[in-house]
A = this chain, B = another copy of it.
Amino acid sequence: MTSSELFEQIRRKRSFLCVGLDTDPNKIPQRLLSEDDPVFAFNRAIVDATAAYAVCYKPNLAFYEENGAKGWESFVKTVRYIRDNYPEIMIIADAKRGDIGNTSQMYARAFFSQDLADGVTLSPYMGRDTVDPFLRFDGKWAVILALTSNPSAADFEMQRLEEGGYLYEKVIDVSSGWGTAENMMYVVGATQARMLKGIRELIPNHFLLVPGVGAQGGSLEEVARYGMNDRCGLLVNSSRGIIYADRSELFADTAAKKAAEMAAQMAELLSAHGL
């Protein structure tokens, strides 16, 4: 998927919502547990309910791996379902992989060679060797952790460097030279919205994947104020706030409602930015 296709979808849907599919088998409504694959059944219902409001889905691989081979199958079925029914929607595998050389190439192939994702989240700790193999696939994205929304982001990401600036700024500055705004995105937590101003000075054109709105306390309005560019440039993720908003049989209806609420706010913010 190109950035233009993504932006086109954002304009059409008036939304830059990414729905996180952090599907925990223990949080699925009772009724679905009798299905062959309860995780897939849950995801399918969530996807059908939210596809009108979402431009991206982000399956969180940890939740699938915890179920072993069966979990990987649930992940693959979910992706195939989205591809077949909503082919315009981006899929980012939230895997936070980060290895080197032929191992990194294996991870890239795991997700891209069978089109299981448009992008994969990557940890930059080991440097360029981690990212390069992901950039060799046309139309695919490396989504690099920059400044995350968790409290312990301060441990290392916010270390000040001898040459000036924070580590996360160095990560953005150096790594943005490895690819382009057409094949790299950055993860910036919504709880760090004020940092988005400085980040936009480094990378005015890149899309940012922004978790942490809602449950973690980030403000959508601040994210838009400091992070939106002239092609939106934002994918704001919500996981629990949508998929677990209602744990009853009505979970999909409530998920649709919550996604619609976020999309309505996003439509206003897009309009306010003349988009």
Contacts and interface: CB of A to CB of B under 8 A. Distances in A.
Nearest to A155: B127
B123 A98 contact: yes
Contact of A100 (B125, B130, B152): B152
Given A126-B150, A126-B157, A110 B170 contact: no
A107 B65 contact: yes
Contacts of A35: none
A86 interface: no
A63 B106 contact: yes
Nearest to A20: B103
A182 interface: no
Contact of A127 (B60, B101, B109, B152): B152
A129 to B, nearest CB: 4
A4 to B, nearest CB: 30
Interface string A220-233: 00000000000000
A69 B62 contact: no
Question: What is the count of identical protomers in the complex?
Answer: 2
A109 B62 CA distance: 9
Given A66-B106, A106-B63, A125 B157 contact: yes
A133 to B, nearest CB: 10
Interface in A150-207: 150-157, 159-163, 167, 170-171, 174-175
Contacts of A97: 62, 96
A249 to B, nearest CB: 24
B99 A126 contact: no
Interface stretch (A38-46, A70-78, A255-263): A70-78
B123 A148 contact: no
Q: Nearest 8 pairs between A and B by C-beta?
A: A127-B152, A127-B155, A62-B106, A160-B162, A128-B152, A69-B69, A69-B72, A123-B123
Interface of A: 22, 24, 60, 62-63, 65-66, 68-70, 72-73, 76, 94, 96-104, 106-107, 109-110, 113-114, 123-130, 145, 148, 150-157, 159-163, 167, 170-171, 174-175
Given A22-B103, A127-B155, A127-B156, 6 more contacts: A65-B110, A68-B110, A69-B73, A96-B123, A127-B150, A127-B153
